[in-house]
Amino acid sequence: MSNTHYACDLAAVSEAAARIAGVVHHTPVITSETLDSRAGRHVFLKCENLQKVGAFKYRGATNAVKKLSNAEAARGVVTHSSGNHAQALALAARVRGIPAYIVMPRTAPSVKKAAVAGYGGLITECEPTLAAREEAAAALVARTGATLIPPFDHADVIAGQGTTALELLEDVPTLNAIITPVGGGGLLAGCCIASRGIKPTMRVFGGEPLGADDAARSKAKGEWLPQTAPNTIADGLLTSTGQLTWPIIRDQVERIFTVTDDQIRAAMRFVWERIKLIVEPSGAVGVAVVLSDEFKSLTNIGSVGIVLSGGNVSLDKLYW
């Protein structure tokens, strides 16, 4: 299947990179001999936990917000999210000087509401169901004329997330594989299009919690399956893949590896303790994958890049 059928192509990612340059951090790539030794190959950690708002989500949100016409932008943007996308969109909107209407379930942790408010987001609370969230967002769009920017299933968001892989390959051109976590699939799809667009032999893998393994099950069956009743510490990866992300994952991703919460917790502790970086559970999934026996058994992967996708955790508790 040709790339032209997808929501995103290499040109869109390159345009996104030019659009967001100077606003979004070019994050560092970190290496560790201890990690290389444990993984049995060279590992390059792309530190999106060091991105603004603490997550790669700022790339896609910034690309989408900057692409709006002045007339569209003036009416603002809307999303429903209690996670990193909400903060990312709030900041991207503030940078452009436009309102961001963020629908959050009334049960969302107060620290998350405070973070969104801290970036200037205008919060609308709703009941904690997907239907209530969608309804509240639609009502905001109808009332304000603002543009809905969903967290992953949007061409400009996918292109923005793909800039992560562009930078990674710019800094480490010798990579022959990339692992990213997969929730809705925006990061995985974008990185897939970007990295395989530049280097068609690139092997792209997803990492998914066993307790929210819709992408792995979908890949195994060859058709889209939804995530129901997710149960994992990796709270950024609870959602199903989307209509735009799934076809890219279906066709272009080699394999989705699942890891248990214990593996995620161990990887998270390893990154905190040995690499000295704060990653959230979702952000540690790629490290859990590269340390798994299943991944270690793969051959012909000398150098693998891993996206540490985010670092937003509460520091009021221990995770182990």
Q: Which stretch binds a second copy (CB under 8 A): 148-156, 189-197, 203-211, 274-282?
A: 274-282
Query: Contacting a second copy (CB under 8 A), which of 10, 30, 74, 225?
Result: 30
Strand bridging mode 100-105 / 122-126? parallel
Nearer to a second copy, 33 or 293 (CB): 33
Q: Where do runs of H (alpha helix) occur along 119-154?
A: 130-144
Within 10 Å of residue 38's Cβ, how many Cβ atoms? 16
- Asked whether position 272 contacts a second copy by CB under 8 A, the answer is yes
Q: Report phi then psi at 298, rounded to 5.
A: -70, 145
- Asked whether position 97 contacts a second copy by CB under 8 A, the answer is no
Query: Contacting a second copy (CB under 8 A), which of 20, 41, 43, 54?
Result: 54
User: Catalytic residue at 82?
Assistant: yes
Residue 263 φ/ψ region, left for φ over 0, alpha for ψ in the -120 to 50 degree band, beta for the rest? alpha
Q: Which stretch binds a second copy (CB under 8 A): 26-34, 160-168, 187-195, 285-293?
A: 26-34
- Asked whether position 269 contacts a second copy by CB under 8 A, the answer is yes
Q: Count of residues binding a second copy (CB under 8 A)?
A: 24
Tracing tokens 């299933």 back to the chain, one arrives at 153
Interatomic CA distance for residues 239 and 221, integer angstroms: 18
Q: At closest approach, how far in Å is the CB of 310 from a second copy?
A: 9
- Asked whether position 105 contacts a second copy by CB under 8 A, the answer is no
Interatomic CA distance for residues 104 and 173, integer angstroms: 40
Q: Where do runs of H (alpha helix) occur along 145-244?
A: 155-171, 186-198, 214-221
Residues engaged in binding a second copy (CB under 8 A): 25, 28, 30-31, 33, 49-50, 52, 54, 269, 272-279, 311, 315-318, 320
Catalytic positions, written as ranges: 57, 82
